[in-house]
A = this chain, B = another copy of it.
Amino acid sequence: MTAASRFEALRKAVNDRLSLAVQTEWGDIPEPLRGAMAYSLNGGGKRLRPVLLLAAHELIAPWDEAAMRFACALEMIHTYSLIHDDLPAMDDDTLRRGRPTCHVVYGEGMAVLAGDGLLSLAMEEMLSVRHPRAFEAAACVARACGVRGMVAGQCLDLSHEGEAPTEELVSAIHRGKTACLLTAPLEAGLILAGADGEQLAAGRLFGLDFGLAFQIQDDLLDLTGDEKLLGKHVGKDEAEGKLTWPALKGPAQARRDMERLTEEACAALEGAFGEKAAFLTGLARESTGRNV
């Protein structure tokens, strides 16, 4: 199986599971809350975080029901963060993946609740898993998306907009906003699969460096990408004085840093898992060349 078809197979498994949940398990969630949550969750995302979690689990053992539940929870958390981030009081985005954002369709109040609901449901889902290490894995996801992780990154991003960027500040924003939630799938997948300390450390390093590289690529695409391919407005970061790595270092140096981080990420994972790491390292390397 090629890396692309393996990604597609994992992505499909996640999509099938999420569709089933929305159609069956979500039946008792009142409208329009259920609709708003489903609208954003089924917005055509790459499912990168759940795929990372399942693939991390497969470094040690085939993924199972517990891993799939955690994978879906990660996607719910990612979706909640996008819904709140798009709000007028935050980034004020009206378009995402080629569709109007949640608050444009459902109103601001319902968008706030849809985000709250997805975060709560993600926690509920993880805590419904019967698995000896579910508690530890859920704790790690909670830390990653919390006030020393993703929410911290959002706070720094929001409160320093328009300031002259420093390397320290931009790193902290990228670590919080993006890298934490790309590290969490590695950690949670490996914890559930029974990884030892060394394997877990390698997975963390991969997630962190890949996450930072991924954010640089995201910012480069905002600078130079194709609006139609991306399905969102581009050039907004520059117009709004967002603190990005390309703004700090220039696009050429930013690209070099992205490539270095990707190689460091891959080296860490290969060191711990050898050839088994090929799918994840391939995924990381491909993503530095992505145009969507």
Contact = CB atoms under 8 A, between A and B. Distances in A.
Interface stretch (A47-55, A110-118, A193-201): A110-118
A168 B159 CA distance: 44
Interface in A106-134: 107-113, 115-117, 119-121, 123-124, 127-128, 134
Given A28-B148, A32-B155, A128-B139, A87 B110 contact: no
B84 A112 contact: yes
Contacts of A34: 147
Interface SS of A by simple majority: helix
- Report copies per complex: 2
Interface in A136-162: 138-139, 142-143, 145-148, 151-152, 154-156, 158-159
A13 to B, nearest CB: 24
Contact of A120 (B37, B112, B117, B147): B147
Interface of A: 26, 28-34, 37, 84, 87-90, 107-113, 115-117, 119-121, 123-124, 127-128, 134-135, 138-139, 142-143, 145-148, 151-152, 154-156, 158-159, 172
28 contacts: A29-B148, A30-B159, A30-B172, A33-B147, A33-B155, A33-B159, A34-B147, A37-B147, A84-B113, A89-B107, A89-B109, A90-B112, A109-B158, A110-B155, A112-B112, A116-B116, A116-B119, A116-B154, A117-B146, A117-B147, A120-B142, A120-B147, A120-B151, A121-B146, A127-B135, A127-B139, A127-B142, A135-B135
